[in-house]
Each structure stands twice: as C-alpha cells, then as structure tokens.
Structure 1
C-alpha cells in the first residue's frame, strides 16, 4: 500500500497528491498535522528514507528557529521534537512497502511508483 503524508496547505504536498492520483495506483492519505506520527512511526519512515533525522526537519519553520536551531540535539531528541511538532516534518512523504521518498521536488514521488 502507498501512503502519502500530506499537508493540504502546502503546494508541494498538493502537487505530490496529484501525481499519486494520476498514477492510478491505490493509496491512502494521512494528514499528519491532524493525525501526528508517533516516534516509532517516524523511526520507521526515517529508516525507509535512508536519511538522518535532521534531514527530515523543516529548518526554516519559526518553531525550529526559535527553539532548536542552535542546540546540539541527538537523533532521538530530533525524532521526539518532530513527533511533538509535526509542522517541522518535511512534506510530502510518500511511503510504499519498504521504501519512502520526500516529494521535494514532487517528481521524486515517481521514483517510488
């Protein structure tokens, strides 16, 4: 099953959703701001993305700049921060089986289809 972690207010996320819709494949949409990811779910996604947790953080968000920017944070702390503040998670993320991609640019999504 394909899952898109989606924020409807984000243009890139809407573009990613459109790519999935046009693909004709079945998928589910999870609006992660309404239904936040747990730390365990974030750990799984980060593993599938094959990135470090800091690479999933939206570092231009005010929450990040005001509270975390200049702190030396462990991977575990970063995952906890993203679980508490889902707005900090890059978007969209598309997950399929044992792989995931960040849809920035949205064309990255085609790699997983």
Structure 2
C-alpha cells in the first residue's frame, strides 16, 4: 500500500496526521506541496479522489490569494485549479491519498477511513 500525504510541516493538523499514519505503521510518501506544487493534472485527480464536485472544496478560502484573486466569484473550475497550481498555499492540508481515494486530515482521524 502506497500512501501519500500532501504535507505542510508548519501546520499542526498536518503534523498530527503524519504522526497518526506513522502510529499505524504507515510510512507515507511525503509531498511538501508548498515546495513542490502539484500539477494541474494531479490537482484534478485529487478533486476526484476526494469525491468533490469542485476544487473549491479543497481550498483554504481565508488565505490572502483566495481573496485577492476574487476566487469566491470564480465560475470556471479551471480558474480554481489554475489558482491552486500557482498558489499552492490555497490547497487545504493535509491531504492523504491511498490508491483511488483521498481524505483531508481535518480532523486527522478523517484519513483513517481511506486506509
């Protein structure tokens, strides 16, 4: 089983989720998404694996770029994907992927249902 975590080490929920995985004897592939932003194709895949209708469901809507880019009024899904690709801080954290399923670790225990 290959598990991947899109991780921000400065985020307490992300650190807690990583610890939870390790407690379950899972050593995930850690993607530091702020340093290595996911491609648009990967972002679209994450939306699908999370079971979301829109990328907006995996966006941090209180971040400055969300407000500055007026993404609340963005109608096109491609605009949201483009915004996350260009401003990875907009991506909710952490996201854990296991095969064709993913979960946002808020709370960290939410990822257990995909393991």
Instruction: Please tell me the TM-score bracket, short chain as reference.
Output: over 0.9
Q: Which moved more, 1:38-47 or 1:61-70?
A: 61-70
- Deviating above 4 A after TM superposition, structure 1's stretches of 4 or more consecutive aligned residues are none
Gaps of 5+ in 2: none
Alignment counterpart, residue 102 of structure 1, candidates 89, 104, 114: 104
**Contact in 1 for aligned 2:13/2:105 (Cα 8 Å):** yes
For the aligned residue pairs, the C-alpha RMSD in angstroms reads: 1.1
- In structure 2, the residue matched to 1:22 is 23
Cα deviation, residue 27, structure 1: 1.6
Paired residue secondary structure (2:15): helix
- Count residues in correspondence: 113
Cα deviation, residue 70, structure 1: 4.4
**Contact in 2 for aligned 1:96/1:112 (Cα 8 Å):** yes
Per-residue displacement from partner, 1:25-73 (whole Å, max 9, x unpaired)? 2321000001100000001111100112111110011111122244333
TM-score (norm 2): 0.93
**Contact in 2 for aligned 1:93/1:100 (Cα 8 Å):** yes
TM-score (norm 1): 0.95
Structure 1 residues 1-113: aligned runs within 5 Å:
1-51=2-52, 52-113=54-115
